[in-house]
Chain A
Amino acid sequence: MTNSRAKYLFLMPGVCWILAFTLFPLLYSFGLSLTNYRLGKNPKYIGFENYAEILGIGDEKIDKKAVSTASFSAFLFLGSTAATLIFGTFVAWVFNHNLPFLRQMRAIITMPLFAAPIALGWLGVVLFNEQSGPINNVLEGLGLGRVNWFIEPMPARFAVMFTDVWQWTPFVFIVVLAAMQSVPDDLYESAQLDTKSNWQLFRWITFPMIAPALGTVMLLRMVESLKIIDIPYSLTRGGPGSVTQTYVYYAYETGLVGSFQLGEAAALAYLLVVVAIVVSSIYFYRVRERFE
């Protein structure tokens, strides 16, 4: 029957594309990770030696830079995810009121989400500038003193995190707002008989109703936070030293800058692929019914 032929014709172009440009590169990458390939040299198969070197298995010493960059990635994974969820939910609560101009303001709030992260990193360079940046000027005006954002390790880490949080809070905001708006009004109406406290209403009605959406954005934010590279690339260049270098940034630098150690970089990247698969599996497990 033509029907059964036709249905595969719709699907095939997309499937072939993903096979060629996602799945094949991914397998290629795994193959590379088992070699000592450097650009310009002949690759040699070395089994899992790259992995052993990174993880410090056997007589190898653990790759200290992999550990330190991974810990900065973990800092963003936890800090940035938590901050965007809290701020985003608060902003959504503010905007979930039927008041004039909120719609227009809402469109303005989503703007950072669509700006190129590499450009936002540069914007951060201007805003966090120690001498003339507006952030330090405001801090000084408040009597909190100036912060050396690019010289001291901890402020530098927070500068990267704040920039990422500023970009992604709108994402959490619009998703959570959508979830809040789908909460039926009569739930509030009946609850109002018992309490007038906004906090109580949020805690016992809004929060349970938006919890599934919060879980979904949380997982998406986690996956995205593992991929952060553009912002530190332009904001701090990974510095001071390498304290704001993310794990992806480290893999990028190992394989694609300087000595082009593609084999080792592929192994670094593959370890992250494993983490990404774990997080995304949880995501798909939660949302797959919707895809039927």
Chain B
Amino acid sequence: MAAQTNSLPLTEPRSPGARASLGDRLIIALAIICTFIAFSPFGYAILTSFKSQWKDGSIIPFVQFEPNLQNWQTEFGSGGPETFKALRNSTLISLGATLVATTLGTLAGYGLARFKYGIGNRNLVSWFLSQRFLPPVATLIPFVLMFRDLKLLDTLPGMVIVNATFTLPFAVLIMRDYFADLPPEMREAALVDGASEFTTFLRIALPLARPALVASTLICFAFAWNEFLFASVLANRDWKPYPMLVAGSDTVRGIDFGFVTTRMLIAVTAPVILSLMVQRFIVRGLTFGAVKG
């Protein structure tokens, strides 16, 4: 094969002792540049969060500026009660929404993978996913009035409902895809043994689908955690989630960059870490099954 002499877009094994060719080095260099561009804004934010003075534009810690924990202390110390309350709200809202979305999504996903429905399964799946394509303002406006009448404004159940609604498509799709890939013989064997449809689902299919269940949970959680638009209108006092705090960073003390970046980092930490755990499911989950990852 010619791959030893030039760098082709190939994924083929190399002999272990082979020296990196010029082309390979170029590719590695490009990859490092891409990674740097993707990461450097976060890196800059991390540095800024350890600076009390930002105006000078210095970036090298210990050389150009003395790193300190002042911003972090403000956020978790004097600003602690507000911070912890918002983080608690975010956690409860995201957990609740994830629980609802994954439960409904798992049931519907199993149904869509295993049975044929009169309306046509593809229409049903499209219908479940179409929610994701709507501009959120279109449903946000009626939600304000509905929630006012149902006394759900600024409550945990209200926030769980909106977040579960927009994360449900991810759950349906990830679960349906996974169930569809399981061998149907397993279900048939269990049914022959006299188990009911629901027992079969619970005892046979669900345990096998654990990886998809984890992926669906993490992806739903991450998206609910990041939600700002609905919260800004429907939960602006007692059940204010953390992104609302981030959005209001300037009103507290003008724009203090160290403070803003600290909050920004707190907001992105959880979903970014979760995303690293579900790499395998990201492609399928986010393209709604259109591309197999």
Contact = CB atoms under 8 A, between A and B. Distances in A.
A105 interface: yes
Contacts of A179: 291
A149 B284 CA distance: 36
A14 B264 contact: no
Contacts of A86: none
Interface stretch (A46-54, A126-134, A152-160): A126-134
A181 B10 CA distance: 9
Interface residues of B, number: 115
Given A119-B268, A178-B283, A223-B133, A201 B8 contact: yes
Nearest to A180: B9
A115 B275 CA distance: 10
B108 to A, nearest CB: 4
A127 B46 CA distance: 12
A185 B3 CA distance: 12
B243 interface: yes
Contacts of A132: 54-57
Interface stretch (B68-76, B206-214, B253-261): B253-261
Interface residues of A, number: 115
A175 B136 CA distance: 24
A96 B225 CA distance: 32
Contacts of A29: 138-139, 141-142
Contacts of A18: 127-128, 131, 165, 168
Contacts of B107: 10-11, 13-14
A72 interface: no
Nearest to A263: B141
Nearest to B59: A134
A196 to B, nearest CB: 6
A110 B279 contact: yes
A185 B12 contact: yes
B44 A126 contact: yes
A170 B279 CA distance: 12
A252 B143 CA distance: 13
B197 interface: yes
A96 B233 contact: no
A77 interface: no
A32 interface: yes
Contacts of A182: 292
A196 B168 contact: no
Given A17-B104, A119-B264, A171-B286, A112 B31 contact: no
A17 B106 CA distance: 14
Contacts of B41: 112, 123, 127, 166
B263 interface: yes
Contact of A28 (B24, B38, B127, B142): B142
A41 interface: no
B170 interface: no
B52 interface: no
Interface in B29-80: 30-32, 34-35, 37-39, 41-42, 44-45, 48, 54-57, 59
11 contacts: A18-B127, A29-B138, A96-B11, A102-B31, A109-B34, A112-B41, A117-B226, A132-B55, A213-B290, A227-B135, A233-B228
Given A13-B107, A28-B146, 17 more contacts: A7-B117, A10-B197, A13-B103, A91-B34, A98-B14, A115-B272, A119-B246, A123-B42, A126-B48, A132-B57, A171-B286, A175-B287, A217-B287, A223-B133, A229-B137, A269-B141, A280-B133
